[in-house]
Amino acid sequence: MSGDNSFVVVANRLPVDLHTAPDGTRTWTPSPGGLVAALSPVLEHQQGCWVGWPGVPDEAPEPFRTDAGVLLHPVRLTQGDFEGFYEGFSNASLWPLYHDLIVTPEYHREWWARYRDVNLLFAQEVAEVAAEGATVWVQDYQLQLVPGILRQLRPDLRIGFFLHIPFPGADLFRQLPWREEIIRGLLGADLIGFHLESNARNFLDLCAGTEGLTVSGTAATRRTDAHVTTHDGRSVAVGAFPISIDVDSLGEGTPGGVEKLRAELGDPQTVILGVDRLDYTKGILQRLLAFEELLEAGALEGAVLLQIATPSRERIDQYQVARSQVEEAVGRINGRFGSMGRPVVHYLHQSLPKSQLRTFYEAADVMLVTPFKDGMNLVAKEYVACHPDGSGALVLSEFAGAAVELHQANLCNPFDMESIKRALLTAVQGAPDVMRERMLAMHAQVSEYDVDRWAEAFLSALGEHR
């Protein structure tokens, strides 16, 4: 059982989603989230094969090659898989647990059974397309059992695993009724990568406290100084590999685009921008409340907030709650502080093309990134990349992984309203040369450590390990 692909990436989602129009016409559109944004250019450079779900239940078109040369291998998930594996165990159990219980995770045996079944399905698909001795790179929390299953099916493969979201402290992780299975699944990999050393340390602590596992070394960035030895004597490397962006994929700015956008917004003094999936981890409500309090105090004269909230996981209760809270706040703030034809919050619950996003990033005087918890947050890096001249200012949550590298940002604690307000005011009113210097330092960081450096660091560590 082997195919002819020497480099295979497997992620829950393909980089494109399948849409079927009422007349039956099928189209593919870019799928949401940072994982896809980061991995697409890597796959294009490697001309690899991408195994994943096309974003709708009960569909699995034939494999096909994209214009950029990536072979897409769709995996079919049933409606039951979608509900139990995707909405259930992945996004209502693991997602809140790994984001430090911002909402309470739910644990259901049926969801877990689906998670196991779907991980088996993904592993079987990979086993079929991967060439003898191929490198397989497994992505994210939806597929944590794949490395272990794949190792049994295809011991010839070189297997890497990367987690795109935070890894919680051992005390939290131990809540999980199926904790041993998840740890064993992950340890099927030759190399396990996290964004931050703190995430890697959490995983190593967990392993150190698990019978039959031995930990040596300490977590390091872009290195694999730490190892876990499994009960059968295999050594698994562990390291931190902070993900980044492909600066080129943001495209060129549209000439006159910024002026046009600012004019559409009523030529405000200050444009403040938020761009997120509509997720309760992102702290969108908190930033709206901070904006509202500053308007109330008369401290943000002539400012508008442009909030892009990409639809996400819309049938899950907690996402519906988050959306209605955000939309209620937008309505209230505009009712209080807007005037005819002049809202103070421009809110779009839509996903926008990259070219338009680029104009928004360029036009924004301040970017607000205020998650309660975030693996990395590539929006912060994209904003910085769009300001090579040092213009603009970034407000960034201390709890976003990006804060480790972008420490020159105006950092805030999103649990503390006064802290968000302080950071926002400093970003708006701070001394221009200080702000410029900070933006330039962050721009240098993002330009040097781009997504190619991330992939190269991970893949060469994986290559050296075996």
Q: Which residues bind ligand G6P (CB under 6 A)?
A: 12-13, 32-35, 140, 164-165, 312-313
Active-site position among 73, 164, 387, 443: 164
CA distances from 230 to 153, 175, 185 (A): 18, 22, 12
Of 12 and 202, nearer to ligand G6P (C-beta) is 12
Minimum gap (Å) between residue 95 Cβ and ligand G6P = 8
Query: How many CB atoms within 10 Å of residue 342?
Result: 12
Of 78 and 254, nearer to ligand G6P (C-beta) is 78
Minimum gap (Å) between residue 466 Cβ and ligand G6P = 26
Of 72 and 165, nearer to ligand G6P (C-beta) is 165
- Are 138 and 91 within 8 A, CB to CB? no
Of 90 and 286, nearer to ligand G6P (C-beta) is 90
Of 304 and 326, nearer to ligand G6P (C-beta) is 326
CA distances from 251 to 49, 359, 443 (A): 24, 10, 16
Minimum gap (Å) between residue 55 Cβ and ligand G6P = 8
In the complex, residue closest to ligand G6P by CB = 33
Minimum gap (Å) between residue 429 Cβ and ligand G6P = 33
Residue 149's nearest CA partner among 169, 121, 107 is 121
Minimum gap (Å) between residue 350 Cβ and ligand G6P = 15
Of 12 and 224, nearer to ligand G6P (C-beta) is 12
Reply yes or no on whether 407 is catalytic.
no
Reply yes or no on whether 374 is catalytic.
yes
Active-site position among 374, 387, 443, 450: 374
Of 276 and 362, nearer to ligand G6P (C-beta) is 276
Minimum gap (Å) between residue 225 Cβ and ligand G6P = 25
Of 289 and 308, nearer to ligand G6P (C-beta) is 308
Give a three-class secondary structure readout of the chain.
Answer: CCCCEEEEEEEEECCEEEEECCCCCEEEEECCCHHHHHHHHHHHHHCCEEEEECCCCCCCCCCEECCCCCEEEECCCCHHHHHHHHHHHHHHHHHHHHCCCCCCCCCCHHHHHHHHHHHHHHHHHHHHHEEEEEEEEEECHHHCCHHHHHHHHCCCCEEEEECCCCCCCHHHHCCCCCHHHHHHHHCCCCEEEECCHHHHHHHHHHHHCCCCCEEECCCCECCCCEEEECCCCCEEEEEECCCCCCHHHHCCCCCCHHHHHHHHCCCCCEEEEEEEECCHHHCHHHHHHHHHHHHHCCCCCCEEEEEEEECCCCCCHHHHHHHHHHHHHHHHHHHHHCECCECCEEEECCCCCHHHHHHHHHHCCEEEECCCCECCCHHHHHHHHCCCCCCCEEEEECCECHHHHCCCCEEECCCCHHHHHHHHHHHHHCCHHHHHHHHHHHHHHHHHCCHHHHHHHHHHHHHHHC
- Are 182 and 119 within 8 A, CB to CB? no
Six-digit token pair at 211? 């019978």
Catalytic annotation, residues: 164, 374
